[in-house]
Amino acid sequence: MEQHTVLIISENKTDHLILSACLERALPTRFHLASSKSIERPLETLTDPMIDAVIMAHGPETEYLLRLAQKHESTIPLILLLDEADDTIIAQLREYGAQDYLVRGQLQDALVHRILDYSIQLKQARDKIQQLSNRDTLTGALNRAGFRAHLERAMDRSERYSFNTALLYINIDQFANINDHYGEADGDLMIKSISRRLINKMRSTDSIARLGGDEFAVVLEDVSSVADVDLIAEKMLKSISAPMILSEQQVAVEASIGASIYPDDGHEFSDLEDNARSAMQQAKSIEGGKYIRYSEQLTFDVAGNSSLAAELRTAVRKNQFELHYQPRIDLATGQLVGLEALLRWNHPERGLVYPGEFLSVCEDMGLMKTIGYQVIQHACSAQIWLEEQKLHDVDVAVNISFSQIQDNRFVEIVKDIIARSGANASCLEFELTESTILKSPGAIKERMDELRLLGISFSLDDFGTGFSQLSHLTELPISALKIDACFIRDIPHNDHQEAVCTMIIEMARRLGMLVVAEGAETYEQIEFLREHNCQQVQGFYYSQAIPLQQLPRFVQEQRFKRREKLFS
C-alpha cells in the first residue's frame, strides 16, 4: 500500500510517543513517521513535496506558520494538536488555513487515522484538480485562470501586510516567425526553455504564469523598491536573449517587458494587468528587447510618430491586410468542411507579417474595428469564390474581437456586407473567445441572437483555457466548441490532456454541439480524436493556413490521399 510521510512537530515528547504509537498501529501500514521539535526552515518544510501531512502542536508560532503556508500556496494539510476544543480558536485557525485538529487526551486510533486519511486524500484530489485547471501543460507554469487567482491573493496579502507587489508582463518578440520557420515542436522547446530561464531569475517567493502562446506574467511579491523590480526585469531580458539551439541551429530572440506595481499603479486586478500590458506594448514599440515600467504619462504614440503606428494606419487605409485560410477537415469523411480565416499583413517591404507582431498594437490604437470589417468582407468574398470553384458547403470562420462586437453598428454593418457581397450567411461562422463574452455577456448575447437570424453560426474558441463558465453553453447561441491546441499537444502521451479532450467532446455531444480540435499535428492525435468522436480537426497534420487560391489544389490532394488509402 502507498506510504504517506507524516511530520509531527511538537516540543512535548509525550505527543511524539503517543502519536507515533497510534500511527504505527494503523492497518494496513500506511504512515511513515518523521518527527521534529520545531521547524528550522519553515518554508522548505511547508512546501516539501515528500511530506503528505503535518501534525503540529498549537503554540506561539502557529499563526505565523499557517500564514506562511497560505502565502506560498502550500497544499500540505496542517492538522493542529490542541489542549482543548475551543470553538473560537478552531474557527480562527481554520481561517488561517488549518485543515483539521486533534485534541490531547482524545487521540483514539480510529479518529487519528480517519483524519489523516481524509486530509491526505483531499490534498491529492486538490493537487490533481489544480494541475488540470490552473497549470499550463507545456511549461508547468500557472495558466490564465491560475494566474488571476494567484495575483488576486497576492494583492490581498499586499493590502493586509502593507507591502508592494509587482507584475511583469512579458512578450517574446517575433515568436510567430520561430513557429513558422522551425515548426511548432521547436517553438514549444523555445517556450519551455524561456520559462526555465525566467524561473532561474526569480526569487523563491515569486511565481510565473503563461498567459498565451508567447506571453508570460511574473508576480513579484514583497518588493522593497522599484529598483529591485528593474533589476529583476533586466536580468530576465538578458537571460531570454541568450542563444539556444533549435534544429541544430543557434537561435536568439528578444522580449519586451512591462511592469506595474500594486497599489501604486492599480487597486484592481484588471487595472494592474492592463497597465503592465500597456507598458509592455510601449516596450515592444522600441526596437530591441526593452523593459518599461507603467506610468500615467506613458501613452502610446497614437498620433503616428511611431513608425509602426504610421505603417499600420497606412496598411488600414491601403487595405494591405489579407487572409490565409486553415482547412477544417471532417474526421469521418476526410473532406474539407470549413476554413478558419487568419489575418496577415502584406507589408510592402517586409513581406508577410504575422498577427503576433501587430495585432495588440492595433487594439491599442483603436484600429481593430476597421480591420475586423475588412476581414469580414474578405471572408464573404472568399465564400463566393469557393462556390464558383465548386467547393460547396464550406464554412468560413472569422475571429471576432470585443472591440468589434461591442460596436453599436456591428450588426447593421455585417448585414450590409453580406447583402452587398451576395455571400451565403449560413456558411459564415463567427468565433468568439470566453474572455470576449465575459466583458459584456448581456449585450453580446443580443448581437448574437440578431446575427443568428441571418443564418450566421457561432463557435466558442479556445474552450477551457479561460474562465470557463458552462452557462455560456446553454444561454448563448453557440453551435460549436473549439478545443485549444494546448489540450492536443502531448496526446497520446499525456493522460491529463486526454481526459480534458474526452470530457469536452462528451459534453459537447450531450449538448448537441459540433467539436473542432485545433493544433493536431500527428497521426496519433488524429486517430485519438477520431476514436473519441471528435467531428472536425484543423492543424499542421493536414495543412497550415494557406492563400485562398491554393485551396482547390489542397482539396485535390486530399481526394488523392483518400483514394490511395482505399486501394492500399
Peptide bond into 327 cis (omega under 30): no
Three cell numbers written together for 404: 468589434
Among candidates 263, 258, 292, 291, which has minimal Cα distance to 277? Answer: 258
**pLDDT number for residue 297:** 46
Contact, 214 vs 175, CB < 8 A?
yes
SS3 at position 61: coil
**pLDDT number for residue 125:** 79
Q: For the whole model, what pTM was predicted?
A: 0.49
- Cα–chain center distance at 512: 26
Q: In angstroms, rounded to a whole number, what is the distance separating the alpha carbons of residues 444 and 275?
A: 25
Walking along the chain (568 residues) 10 residues at a time, the average pLDDT comes out as 87 91 92 72 77 90 84 84 89 85 93 91 76 79 86 89 93 82 87 93 88 92 88 91 85 90 90 89 75 65 52 84 92 91 87 79 76 90 90 91 81 90 91 76 85 91 61 78 84 86 87 89 90 91 89 86 61
| 509: exposed, middle or buried (Cβ count in 10 Å: 0-12, 13-18, 19+) | middle
**What are the strands of the beta sheet with 255-262, ordered from one edge?**
207-212, 215-223, 164-172, 255-262, 290-293
**pLDDT number for residue 248:** 81
DSSP H helices, 394-440, are 402-405, 410-421, 434-439
- Cα–chain center distance at 194: 16
Among candidates 398, 360, 362, which has minimal Cα distance to 382? Answer: 398
Q: Name the residue type at position 426.
A: S
Domains in the chain, start-ordered, CATH in brackets?
A: 4-134 (3.40.50.2300), 144-293 (3.30.70.270), 314-567 (3.20.20.450)
CA dihedral 254, 258, 261, 265 (to 10 degrees): 180
The dihedral through the CA atoms of 58, 61, 63, 66 has a sign that is: negative
> Where on the phi/psi map is residue 250: left (φ > 0), alpha (ψ -120 to 50), or beta?
beta
Contact, 90 vs 101, CB < 8 A?
yes
Instruction: Give Rg (Cα) of the chain.
Output: 27
Peptide bond into 28 cis (omega under 30): yes
**Packing angle between helix 184-200 and helix 226-240, nearest 10 degrees?**
140
Three cell numbers written together for 115: 483524519
Q: In angstroms, rounded to a whole number, what is the distance separating the alpha carbons of residues 170 and 150?
A: 17
Q: In angstroms, rounded to a whole number, what is the distance separating the alpha carbons of residues 545 and 183?
A: 13
**pLDDT number for residue 470:** 62
Residue holding cell 470589417?
A: 373
Residue holding cell 455531444?
A: 509
Q: What are phi and psi of 488, to 5 degrees?
A: -105, -25
DSSP H helices, 206-305, are 226-240, 269-284
